[in-house]
Every structure is written in structure tokens, then in C-alpha cells.
């Protein structure tokens, strides 16, 4: 055995077999890592993440989570069209804003299949929706999964053994699947049927309507009345919120298609109800939107009255431009920092909004107003740590299954820096090479981070 390896083994043995103080253990680990020059960056970072996780304590024990939940029905797109009697030879590729018939579904699916891009449309005719449901129910090769931001957040939080009050439109299948994670839907939010989002997948090499797909993708359609009207906001009562530590609200992107008057009615109702509860931490999780006017309304009418905001790169880019800022490029961290600062600057120094949690594939950032939050460094690091395990669907992180793509100079779980009146914490992601779970990954990041921080 070479000298350095022998010293390393001796140091590890000291930790494992002798009763040494935490401070001494940390010194041993730091010295050991300096010896381990043959280890990869991924291996070193995993070790540091593991030790950080061992020292990180959950600071809250109860959440209220709302408001969107559904069942994602995942199936092969071509097989569904065949079941509906659609022939590839007779389809005309054409995009439509809404789907009124089976022919519309075939046309829009084919349009995006040829472009090989993802898209989502709503079915507006009940009779056509029932025809599609009949075909779906007759298909054997399909899979049902929990869907919807709020429901996915609750599923992720269930691993922490905290108390959860979940306010989503809960149909029989969604209730059944959530129960497997120990999560219950609030009684007054339950309904007799599930809201379904049908995900028509296709793989590389699939041929349809004269086109061969060079990449895998999906087309989604639904007739989701309860979530599009955010009916579960009716479950936001004083009794439901009283006694919880954190309130997480999500699913507001579902309001985009409604008239402005209805959008404002829902947003105002939620804000007014939450304004009665001063002790709870309020976190708003954004999702993909295309209506700039609606996004600005949501920001000015709800986000600035929340304490924390969660969003990904597409959402940050759209919000930055909507607020009068520049486009965001995740490879240029300075542009991300500028956009995050812009959000808190536009909210104003007197606003409740003092924290933004940004997540992308390679790194995560929390920007906070100084002195307003506790333990934010651990919060962002535990978010990336959870994301790595969740993506590979493993209880621990195996270094060979991940790669470090963030080009920071330090191989550390988190790096902190001052940005004027704000503090910024950035954490690199150990990206899963062959991810088994991607749906709900962003939600799990923000949700986990909220376990390890509290506002002052």
C-alpha cells in the first residue's frame, strides 16, 4: 500500500473506531481529502454532501401545500391514435390553440411530432374528451403517476416524516397513490373523479405521418376543470393554515386561460386569506407560463406578499424580461445573479418577499435579503443533494452515476458571497447520468430547501 493511501485508511479508522469530537472528525476529513488526489471531483463532493447532510437538522415540522394535483396517464401516442381509429396516412399536421375533436388531437400531435418539441393543449368539447377517455381506458399499456406541482411537492416532503395538509382536487386514483407515501388529501378537497393529464410519448426512431423522430418527446392534453379554476383554493381556511410552519402555494399557471377578472378573483382570495396568518412562511412556486400580463399580475398581486419564491431557468428568464430586465443564460451566472437581484429589487425593501430559490440542471442558487433567513446555505445544498438522489432514484449518491458539470472553482456543497444588501448561496448539482425520475424534480428541490430554513 502506498504511503498516502495508508495514512488515509488510518484516519478513516480513527473516525470509525474511536470516540473523537465532531470538530476533530471534521479536521480529519479535511486532511484526508487533501491526501486523496486520486479521487474524482464527484467522489470528493459526494463525501462533503454526505457529511453536510449528517449535520443538517430539519427546522420545521408541518406544511400546508396547495393547490394543483392530477393523475398523469403516460402512454404511447401512436397507440392511442390507432385506438381512436386515426390513420397516419390521413392526418394533416396542423397546430391549434385548443382541441375540439379527435381529428384536432391527431393534427396537433402530428404537428409537434414532426417538430419533435413538447407541447400541451386543452380539450374543450366534453363529448370528444369522453371519446378519448374510452379509448384510453381500453388500452392495456399505460401507466398512472402522481401529477401536479402541489401533489408532487407533498410526495417529496413525505420522506421527511413531517405533517402535511394537502389541498388538491383529489380523485380516487390520486388519493390511492398519495396514500402509498403516507399523504392524505384534505377531506373537503376530495372529488369523485380524477383530473387526468394524458401524456402521449414517442421514442427515438418512431415513424409517423412520414416523419422519423430523432429524439424522444411528448405531447400532453387534458380537460382539467378543477385545476384550471383552482377549485382547491376553497380549502384554504383558517383552520387548515393555523398551526402549520410553512404554506407552499403552487399551480397558478393553470389560471392563464381564464378571463382576467377570474384570475384576479382567485389570486386576491388567496392573498387575503394568507394575510391573516403572520407567523407562517409563505412560499410561492412558479411554473411555465406564456402570458406576460398574467405573470406580472401574479408577481405584483401575490409574489410580493409571499416570503419566498421558487423558479427554474425558463421561469426566471420570462420573469426577468417581464420585469424589464435582460434575458437569462444559465451558463452565464452573472446574468442569473442579475435577474435574481432584479426580482427582489422590484419587490421592494418593504416587501415580504426576501428570498428566491433558483434551480437549473447544473446548479442552484438562493438569494436572500441579509438578516431575514436562517440556515440558507444548508437549505440550498440540501435541495441539490435531494435532487441528485431523486433523479437516479437511489437512497444514496453513487459518484460513478453522477457528473459535476458546474464550472465553479471550489468543489464544495455550497459557496456563499455578498451581493450588496443580499447574500447569495450557490450549490453545484451532481447530475444523474441516467435519470429515472425527472417529473417533479424542480418541486422536490424547492420543497426540500424549505425544511432547513426559517425566516427571522
Task: List, by residue number, the catalytic residues.
Answer: 443
- Distance in angstroms (rounded) separating the CA atoms of residues 454 and 368: 12
Q: What DSSP designation does 185 have?
A: B
Residue given cell 434575458 in the structure block: 327
Please give the grid coordinates belonging to residue 286.
412558479
Tell me the β-bridge partners of 73: 144, 198
Go through 71-87 and write b for each residue having 16 or more CB atoms within 10 A of its CB, e for each that does not: bbbbbbbbbbbebbebe
Please give the grid coordinates belonging to residue 230.
383552482
User: Could you tell me if 374 and 307 are in contact, meaning their C-beta atoms sit under 8 angstroms apart?
Assistant: no
- Distance in angstroms (rounded) separating the CA atoms of residues 174 and 167: 12
Tell me the β-bridge partners of 99: 123
Instruction: Label residue 438 exposed, middle or buried (CB < 10 Å: 0-12, 13-18, 19+).
Output: exposed
Q: Name 185's Cβ contacts closer than 8 Å, sequence gap at least 6.
A: 69, 166, 167, 168, 170, 174, 175, 178
For strands 62-66 and 163-167, give the pairing. parallel
Element containing residue 355 per DSSP (H, E): strand 355-359
Note if the bond before 324 is cis, omega within 30 degrees.
Answer: no
- Distance in angstroms (rounded) separating the CA atoms of residues 128 and 222: 11
- Distance in angstroms (rounded) separating the CA atoms of residues 450 and 428: 18
Would you give the end-to-end CA distance of the chain in angstroms? Answer: 52
- Distance in angstroms (rounded) separating the CA atoms of residues 87 and 398: 46
User: Could you tell me if 330 and 431 are in contact, meaning their C-beta atoms sit under 8 angstroms apart?
Assistant: no
Tell me the β-bridge partners of 147: 70
CB atoms within 10 A of CB 225: 12
Amino acid at each position: 500500500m502506498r504511503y498516502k493511501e495508508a495514512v488515509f485508511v488510518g484516519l478513516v479508522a480513527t473516525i470509525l473506531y474511536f470516540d473523537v469530537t465532531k470538530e476533530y472528525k471534521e479536521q480529519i476529513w479535511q486532511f484526508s481529502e487533501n491526501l486523496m488526489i486520486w479521487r474524482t471531483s464527484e467522489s470528493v463532493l459526494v463525501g462533503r454532501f454526505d457529511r453536510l447532510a449528517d449535520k443538517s437538522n430539519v427546522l420545521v415540522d408541518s406544511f400546508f401545500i396547495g393547490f394543483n394535483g392530477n393523475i398523469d396517464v403516460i402512454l404511447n401516442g401512436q397507440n392511442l391514435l390507432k385506438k381512436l381509429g386515426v390513420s397516419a396516412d390521413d392526418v394533416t399536421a396542423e397546430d391549434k390553440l385548443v382541441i375540439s375533436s379527435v381529428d384536432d388531437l391527431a393534427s396537433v400531435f402530428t404537428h409537434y411530432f414532426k417538430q419533435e418539441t413538447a407541447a400541451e393543449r386543452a380539450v374543450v368539447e366534453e363529448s370528444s374528451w369522453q371519446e378519448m377517455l374510452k379509448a384510453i381506458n381500453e388500452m392495456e399499456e399505460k401507466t398512472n403517476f402522481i401529477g401536479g406541482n402541489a401533489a408532487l411537492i407533498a410526495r417529496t416532503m413525505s420522506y421527511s416524516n413531517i405533517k402535511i395538509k394537502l389541498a388538491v382536487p383529489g380523485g380516487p386514483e390520486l388519493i390511492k397513490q398519495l396514500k402509498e407515501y403516507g399523504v392524505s388529501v384534505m377531506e373537503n378537497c376530495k372529488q369523485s373523479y380524477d383530473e387526468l393529464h394524458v401524456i402521449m410519448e414517442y421514442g427515438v426512431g418512431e415513424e409517423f405521418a412520414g416523419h422519423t423522430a430523432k429524439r424522444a418527446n411528448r405531447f400532453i392534453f387534458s380537460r382539467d376543470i378543477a385545476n384550471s379554476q383552482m377549485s382547491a383554493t376553497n380549502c384554504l381556511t383558517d383552520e387548515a393554515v393555523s398551526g402549520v410552519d410553512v404554506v407552499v402555494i403552487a399551480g397558478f399557471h393553470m389560471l392563464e386561460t381564464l378571463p382576467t377578472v377570474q384570475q384576479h378573483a382567485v389570486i386576491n382570495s388567496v392573498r387575503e386569506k394568507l394575510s391573516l396568518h403572520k407567523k407562517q412562511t409563505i412560499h410561492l412556486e412558479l411554473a411555465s407560463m406564456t402570458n406576460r400580463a398574467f405573470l406580472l399580475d401574479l408577481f405584483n398581486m401575490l409574489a410580493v406578499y409571499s416570503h419566498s419564491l421558487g423558479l427554474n431557468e425558463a421561469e426566471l428568464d420570462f420573469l426577468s424580461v417581464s420585469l424589464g430586465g435582460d434575458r437569462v443564460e444559465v451558463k452565464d451566472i452573472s446574468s442569473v445573479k442579475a435577474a435574481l437581484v432584479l426580482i427582489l429589487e422590484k419587490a421592494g425593501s418593504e416587501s415580504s418577499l426576501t428570498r428566491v430559490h433558483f434551480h437549473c440542471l447544473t446548479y442552484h442558487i438562493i438569494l436572500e435579503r441579509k438578516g431575514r433567513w436562517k440556515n440558507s446555505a444548508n437549505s440550498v445544498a440540501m435541495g441539490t443533494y435531494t435532487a441528485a438522489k431523486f433523479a437516479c432514484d437511489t437512497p444514496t449518491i453513487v459518484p460513478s452515476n453522477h457528473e459535476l458539470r458546474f464550472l465553479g472553482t471550489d468543489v464544495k456543497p455550497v459557496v456563499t458571497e455578498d451581493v450588496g444588501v443580499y447574500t447569495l448561496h450557490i450549490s453545484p448539482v451532481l447530475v444523474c447520468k441516467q435519470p429515472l425520475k425527472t417529473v417533479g424534480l424542480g418541486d422536490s428541490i424547492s420543497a426540500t430547501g424549505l425544511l432547513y430554513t426559517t425566516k427571522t
